[in-house]
Amino acid sequence: MAIATVNPATGELVEEFAPHTDAEVDARIGEAHDAFLALRGTEFPERAAWMRRAAELLEDELEGAATMLVREMGKTIAQARAEVRKCAAGMRFYAERAEDFLAGAELADPAAVGASRASTRYQPLGVVLAVMPWNYPLWQVIRFAAPALMAGNTGVLKHASNVPQSAVYLDALFERAGFPAGSFRTLLIPASGVERVLRDPRVVAATLTGSEPAGRSVASIAGSEVKHVVLELGGSDPFIVMPTADLDAAVATAVASRTTNNGQACINAKRFIVHADVHDAFVERFTAAMAALVVGDPMDEGTQLGPVATASGRRDLHELVADARDKGAVITTGGEPLDRPGWFYPPTVVTGVTPEMRLYAEEAFGPAASVFRVADREEALRLANDTSFGLSSAVWTRDAEEEEFFVNGIDAGAVFVNGMSVSYPELPFGGVKDSGVGRELSAEGIREFCNLKSVWRG
């Protein structure tokens, strides 16, 4: 796959990049390693000042950065601006909180271990490889980079091949803000180049956000090198609607949760599991609201749904929908790629999905929703958990006991009650089952790439 920016709204090539040679990759890892030796000697306040400066730069350049995101992967300009702002907020969060999160602790009773004093402290590990996806080209990287750099680690980034402009922008950002040169280096390499980087002894750990096959591959290489790995993989999040739900709010949130980021977020709701008492009303209103979305040029302020990011992504999505239709599912709106330049796919609602259909088990990465009818809460929970994924989930109910039933019972990294799954710097983010291992964001996220050192003094 070429390392190139291709505008998904038009299909036109915007810019192509030559991949780095092995020698260039080695030199860049060397820079990141040298930067680590410098960065580990700095104090939190110094790093926090640089991180805040990086956040300011991003905000100063908001319009240019947002336009770059639209051109690289087709999200709407409003959502692109929101992504840039979220990055700046995440950077400030870690500038503010990193020192507290990594404070370590004194053992209250050191005599219990025969010491005069015993304590723990978190220390940085070194150069961490980040393999990142294209769907949030800045935010996915920042939510790794901000805690990593605040902890004193440095990073090398292998970004998705279709967002090289974002990758190059990020390469410069931290250095411009004052971090030692090389603290964050982009490697313009194909996926096949990841193994060589991960086996480099100067690279001590890896984080991958992306698909399950990519995660399995990187985890097996990291395992063979005994290197720590964090994986944030796919999801097919359930969105459960029970009879006591506020149906208007549930429908509006269902639409937003299925179509935000043009339906290409790992935590988009993808499977709508609706109690029989409200199923028909939900389908009717959900279909109408999905069909009413304004699909168009993502640079237009009024557009609500832009294109799918790549030609192959649209093909994969349509294959899932067509397979369901061919096996008897009913499509209440959408269902055919739009006949216009670019990779547009309409908001699509599929009902009557059964286990024989690929859509039942596979992640639909685009604006296609599956709706299921269930008889009771037990069936709703069984269906919610009948997936290899376990990233996030949402439950709509106003019955407190029922709420607790789902919050306890759903196998996922998060449950949102009467709301929509969103990532917040304050909350741990990650999955169970095939959705990944480890956590990003919050205190847990910054501690993932630290050495928790025990100190015993006699």
20 vs 275 by CB, closer to ligand NAP: 20
Tokens 């709701």 — which residue?
A: 269
Across-strand partners of 98?
A: none
- DSSP symbols for 364-405: --SSEEEEEEESSHHHHHHHHH-SS--S--EEE-S-HHHHHH
Interface of this chain with ligand NAP, residues 388 to 417, rule: CB under 6 A? 391
3 state DSSP class of 455: strand
Q: Is 133 in the site for ligand NAP (CB under 6 A)?
A: yes
CA distance 34 to 129: 15
Structure tokens at 215: 């995660």
Q: Which of 31, 72, 175, 232 is catalytic?
A: 232
Tokens 């899932």 — which residue?
A: 320
> Among residues 10, 119, 123, 217, which is the contact residue for ligand NAP, using CB under 6 A?
217
Q: Is 194 in the site for ligand NAP (CB under 6 A)?
A: yes
3 state DSSP class of 4: strand
Shortest gap between Cβ of 278 and ligand NAP (angstroms)? 28
CA distance 240 to 418: 10
239 vs 282 by CB, closer to ligand NAP: 239
Kindly indicate which of the ranges 21-29, 190-198, 279-287, 330-338 contains the residues binding ligand NAP, using the contact rule CB under 6 A.
190-198
**CA–centroid distance for 360 within its chain:** 22
Interface of this chain with ligand NAP, residues 147 to 166, rule: CB under 6 A? 158-161
300 vs 316 by CB, closer to ligand NAP: 316
Question: Could you give the angle at the alpha carbon of 137 between the alpha carbons of 136 and 140, nearest 5°?
Answer: 60
Of 358, 292, 347, whose CA–CA distance to 325 is shortest?
358
DSSP H helices, 152-274, are 164-176, 194-198, 212-224, 247-259
CA distance 388 to 425: 26
220 vs 454 by CB, closer to ligand NAP: 220
243 vs 428 by CB, closer to ligand NAP: 428
Question: Could you give the angle at the alpha carbon of 225 between the alpha carbons of 175 and 124, nearest 5°?
Answer: 40
Structure tokens at 241: 């609607």
> Among residues 210, 238, 307, 342, which is the contact residue for ligand NAP, using CB under 6 A?
210
Shortest gap between Cβ of 232 and ligand NAP (angstroms)? 3
209 vs 370 by CB, closer to ligand NAP: 209
Kindly indicate which of the ranges 28-36, 107-115, 134-142, 238-246 contains the residues binding ligand NAP, using the contact rule CB under 6 A.
134-142
* Residues 6+ positions from 205 with CB-CB distance below 8 Å: 125, 126, 128, 129, 222, 227, 228, 229, 449
Kindly indicate which of the ranges 81-89, 167-175, 226-234, 402-410 contains the residues binding ligand NAP, using the contact rule CB under 6 A.
226-234
List the x/- string, 81-120, binding to ligand NAP by CB under 6 A: ----------------------------------------
87 belongs to the catalytic site: no
Interface of this chain with ligand NAP, residues 288 to 327, rule: CB under 6 A? none
Shortest gap between Cβ of 137 and ligand NAP (angstroms)? 10
List the x/- string, 228-247, binding to ligand NAP by CB under 6 A: ----xxxx------------
Structure tokens at 186: 């982009």
> Among residues 211, 244, 385, 418, which is the contact residue for ligand NAP, using CB under 6 A?
211
Q: What is the phi/psi pair of residue 2, to 5°?
A: -65, 150
List Cα–Cα distances, 428 to 181, 423, 438, in angstroms: 30, 8, 9
Shortest gap between Cβ of 189 and ligand NAP (angstroms)? 8
Q: Which of 31, 83, 87, 266 is catalytic?
A: 266
Q: Is 135 in the site for ligand NAP (CB under 6 A)?
A: yes
Of 114, 91, 95, 1, whose CA–CA distance to 46 is shortest?
95
Q: Is 218 in the site for ligand NAP (CB under 6 A)?
A: yes
3 state DSSP class of 274: strand
Residues 286 and 292: beta-carbon distance below 8 Å: no
Sign of the torsion angle spanned by Cα atoms 387, 364, 79, 242: negative
> Among residues 35, 77, 251, 266, which is the contact residue for ligand NAP, using CB under 6 A?
266
58 vs 219 by CB, closer to ligand NAP: 219
404 belongs to the catalytic site: no
121 vs 433 by CB, closer to ligand NAP: 433
How many residues interact with ligand NAP (rule CB under 6 A)? Answer: 30
| Catalytic sites, residue numbers | 232, 266
Q: Which residues contribute to the site for ligand NAP (CB under 6 A)?
A: 1, 131-135, 140, 158-161, 190-191, 194, 209-211, 214, 217-218, 232-235, 266, 363, 365, 391, 431, 436
